[in-house]
Chain A
Amino acid sequence: MARGAIRTVDTLAAEAVPGVVRVFTPDTMPRLPSVPEQPDWDIMYGSSFVPMADRTIHYAGQPIGMVLAETLEAARHAATLIHYEFAAEEPVVGLDVTTDLAGEPGHEPEQIWLGFVAGYLPGAVKRGSGAAALDHAAVRLEGRWRLSTNHHNPMELVASTASWESADRLTLYETSQHVANHRNGLAKLLGLPRENVRVVASYVGGGFGCKGPVWPHSWLAALAAKAAGRPVRLVLSRAQMYTAVGYREEQWIDLRIGATQEGKLLGATVTKLSATPAWEDWVEPSWYPFTFMYDLPALETRCRLLRANVMAPTFMRAPGEAPGMLVQECAMNELAAELGVDPIELRLRNHADVYPIDGSQWSSKRLKECYRVGAERFGWASRSPTPRSMREGDLLIGMGMASASHTVYRQPASARVTITTTGIAHVAASATDIGTGTATFLRQITADELGLPLDAVQALIGDTGLPEAPMQAGASLTSSLGSAALAAARTLRGRVLALATGTEGSPLYGHNENDLALDDGRILAGGNPTGQTVSGVLRRAGLTELSSDGRFDPGGMGQVRSGDPVRDRREAPRGMHSFGAIFAEVAVDPELGLIRVRRLTGVYACGRILNPKLAESQLIGGITWGMSQALFEVTHMDARFGRFTNTNLSEYMVPVNLDVPVIDVTFLDDPDPYINPLGVKGVGEIGITGVAAAIADAVWHATGKRLRTLPILPDALLDGDEISSTRC
């Protein structure tokens, strides 16, 4: 049932199951004191939809009942015994409908709200006249790229444990990428002061975007716990994860792009079609890469949204860039083939020397070197340009490449560093660790600044009781929080030295602070031991510990205009992006239609790399996902039922170990003096970008087939369902 209403509910059988404590339905579920409202500059909601509030059904998978029981088994069993009668209506889903749920052919939003990390983006971009520029183009390319629905599928399921410490004090243990966001959201919705809500999430088993926003399960758990008078744990099943915490929406992207005979881009039009729920506009800004990636003088983008019986999509790794770079980079490769120009050469001819959005300088950009180093490491020169020209036995070999890029987002952050007379330091911030190494980088930065061995620094993370850190999202945590930790540690160091040199009677009294250094808890002067220790300085001052707070305030979001006048006024005029180049080699078995990726080489300039191991892992994970986007991932929607059909990890394909080749990742040294005091741009998101385009191009190079529907499956190679490059 994806559309209609509940006519009757009968909970008797469910309530009779041994162990069942409470059964809630839309009729009996306690109401939220206040409902989510978008936009909210402090709270990122997954959706403004409030389930269990009335009997209307908007999408398949919508929560319509909740059972509390002593065991998970009893709860699950009882849930199947709640008897509903429905008045069902024909659902509206899919992108090939003529009229949407509102009875219209779709609508074009003026602006789109992307939560407080990115703020507002315009619904349409117009730079020059993209359409008119195409008239003068010597070479034109036109096509529709069809991208499948994708789901985050972190290994760890989404879960909330709500415990009311008193009538108005809540502790929520949440699988959260941002505890402060969950605290702010829950406090607002439940009508509590923020300080009465504590949210805890130290380590999270993967998020990829789905655990950032506040979704209904959290407040449902809190409401249920309050009603039941005892703590409640709500764990979503894998199948429920497909409709409860967002997804990357299916999208069709129509592109027209034109260039001169020399390969200089003249203009492009980009139109994206996707579906959104009845009650809000969500659209991933997939056209966004066209605005910054190349020197593209004329551009017109539009997005058309269809209202449908779906829950809201949400952020997924590299939102905007992951699909947008796919189309952009596929188009560059197709143009290169049309013009008979090497794909790297075409990119060099269109390199954006300045930030195309406003003509300002880049904060730093080493994209050309990424191409050069990547081509060398990969052996790009060995590629013969003609498709189907490289073979090995039964196999066709193909090579492809693409650019990679991701926006640098920056968020306000704070951290506290404390040093104690035991010689141990603590660094504290509310940030969670979703496998990104939050605790590790905080300890590293603190240890470096305080001259301590890593073992002497402990991290306290994942609790709203700690100094507020930003969302673990947008590849921005290390750069933003790391800068705050650096500031805190630097201040603390200064205060220790000030105590040492400024306290009468101290052996270092009157020394110049600039001559002093900290080394493993000792204080050096001019590089020589002074016999003084940090602990000694603290003790002499009668202290057992000393703390400093540090803050990073970027004064803007990165170069994305947030739409918030206060934030944007403070924005420094620089283009801020990480860049890279990705190269892929595939082997195609043309008789069986099988595609196997044999090599992937990526070279990246992402600012300063704090921890090479963590950074490489982030890239390997991102690149693997890009490969998965190209060849495996699709959530099928059966339009007749308005329901996803493969909501489990057996039927939702991701690559297995054997599919993933050795991935060669190189970072170029890319110091960036503008971005933040650390010079860190972030590595969490760029990995996925460009990969699918490189693989699609390698498949074309191997087989001569341009395939624009993702994932690329054997069917496409066996059915003759190909699109030859259209010249118009």
Chain B
Amino acid sequence: MQPFSYVEPRSRAEALRLAQAYPEARFLAGGTTLVDLMKSGVVHPPMLIDVNRIGGLDEIEAAEGSLRLGALARMSDAASHEAVRTQAPGLSESLLFAASGQLRNMASLGGNLLQRTRCLYFRDRHFPCNKRAPGSGCGAIDGENRALAVLGTSAACIANYPGDFAIMLVALDGTVYLDGPAGERAVPAATFHRLPADTPHIETVLAPGEMITAISLPLGALSRQSRYLKVRDRSSYEYASVSVAAAADFAPDGTIRDARLALGGLAAKPWPVTEAALLLAGRRPDDPVAMGRLMDAAVDGARPRSGNAYKVPQARSAIRRAFATLARRSARSVA
């Protein structure tokens, strides 16, 4: 780890002023991503702006059909919040199935959105990696790529976005609130992350000096019937090989009125499957034709590499499984 300076602003304005004055500086929230990467020599910010002392950034509020989560709210606090558990159970699951208890107690929601890929070549500076060192080449594309993406990749980078929370956020039409040199703005969660194209080192639309202040999502029939299915080699404490964020509003006869789907683990960014609403409307989840079309649409354009072809059949099965579970839960709650 390289030496760095550390500042602890007490207000948002001061933090933003510092960030603008020192463009290489980084905000420090829980530190579970940032400090790790600093220790491995992947990033070396000369200054850390600790935002944990700034008041008002960690609140969780549910009102008027909307949930608002402060960027500094901890994963464990958000996951166990009454409104999150009852009105957006899939969001709670996406947080609970992530990392470990210790990490969730430290890690913030804003930091969670900004976690970096687990690509082995990115994390070990002895290897080439276009994301870490632009122009050095992609070590993974012809290397050990079992964990990496089959969707949204480019010739420059096939890294996957590893997080869980963002997948559910995208499925449930969430919004990310930013504040920075150009003032405040709101960005749909679905467009917050960028595809790698030929600039894989630029991962989000966050501008230099900009801070995430909050995250929101609409609460309603969809969020109440949401589920996060996380598939991984071991039972816990592992990133998803494939994950499915699914939500469905069921009519009393068991047909779907409205649905949402986003995929994680296998794509360069949280991967919304926008066709879900159209393909499932008026259908039942056990309708093989509708489900087949949805599965086709979800992995359309998938480009497996030497080690990750298994993710495609795994994702297809996981999609069917997630909606089947939602249907069972819905039937139970009607009965």
Contact = CB atoms under 8 A, between A and B. Distances in A.
A76 B143 CA distance: 28
Interface in B117-148: 118, 120-121, 123-124, 126-127, 139, 142-144, 146
B241 A655 contact: no
Nearest to B234: A659
Contacts of A239: 124
Given A641-B127, A645-B120, A719 B235 contact: no
A4 interface: no
A381 interface: no
Interface stretch (A135-143, A488-496, A588-596): A588-596
B34 to A, nearest CB: 15
B139 A638 contact: yes
Contacts of B309: 715, 719
A632 B2 contact: no
B318 interface: yes
A24 B96 CA distance: 47
Contact of A714 (B124, B126, B236, B241): B241
Contacts of A657: 236
B289 to A, nearest CB: 18
Interface in A637-658: 638, 640-641, 643, 645-648, 650-651, 653, 655-658
Contacts of B313: 593, 718
Nearest to A646: B120
Contacts of A632: 233-234
A394 B325 CA distance: 12
Contacts, number: 86
Contacts of A596: 235
A592 B144 contact: no
Contacts of A394: 321
Interface in A581-634: 591-594, 596, 631-632
A131 interface: no
Interface residues of A, number: 36
B310 A718 contact: yes
A73 B1 contact: yes
Contacts of B2: 77, 80
B124 A645 contact: yes
Contact of B317 (A591, A650, A715): A591
Contacts of A76: 1
Given A76-B1, A638-B143, A593 B235 contact: no
Contact of A650 (B118, B139, B314, B321): B118
B208 interface: no
A194 interface: no
A653 B318 CA distance: 22
A653 B120 contact: no
Interface string A55-67: 0000010000000
Nearest to A80: B41
B2 to A, nearest CB: 6
B238 interface: yes
Contacts of B320: 591
Nearest to B324: A394
Contacts of B307: 715
Contacts of A650: 118
Contacts of A77: 1-3
A653 B143 contact: no
A659 B121 CA distance: 28
A619 to B, nearest CB: 22
A125 interface: no
A645 B233 CA distance: 18
Nearest to B39: A76
B237 interface: yes
A640 B144 CA distance: 11
Interface in B206-254: 231, 233-238, 241
A16 to B, nearest CB: 12
B234 to A, nearest CB: 5
A121 B237 CA distance: 42
Contact of A593 (B146, B310, B321): B310
B235 A656 contact: yes
Contact of B310 (A651, A656, A719): A719
A394 B229 CA distance: 15
A76 B121 CA distance: 21
A631 B234 CA distance: 9
A674 to B, nearest CB: 43
A632 B238 CA distance: 12
A636 interface: yes
A713 interface: yes
30 contacts: A76-B1, A77-B3, A80-B41, A394-B321, A591-B317, A592-B317, A636-B144, A638-B127, A638-B139, A638-B143, A641-B126, A643-B124, A645-B120, A645-B121, A646-B120, A646-B144, A650-B118, A651-B120, A655-B234, A656-B235, A656-B237, A656-B238, A658-B234, A658-B235, A659-B235, A714-B241, A714-B310, A714-B314, A715-B309, A719-B309
Interface of A: 60, 73, 76-77, 80, 239, 394, 591-594, 596, 631-632, 636, 638, 640-641, 643, 645-648, 650-651, 653, 655-659, 713-715, 718-719
Given A592-B231, A659-B235, 6 more contacts: A394-B321, A591-B320, A632-B233, A636-B144, A646-B144, A719-B309
3 nearest A-B residue pairs (beta carbon): A591-B317, A658-B235, A715-B310
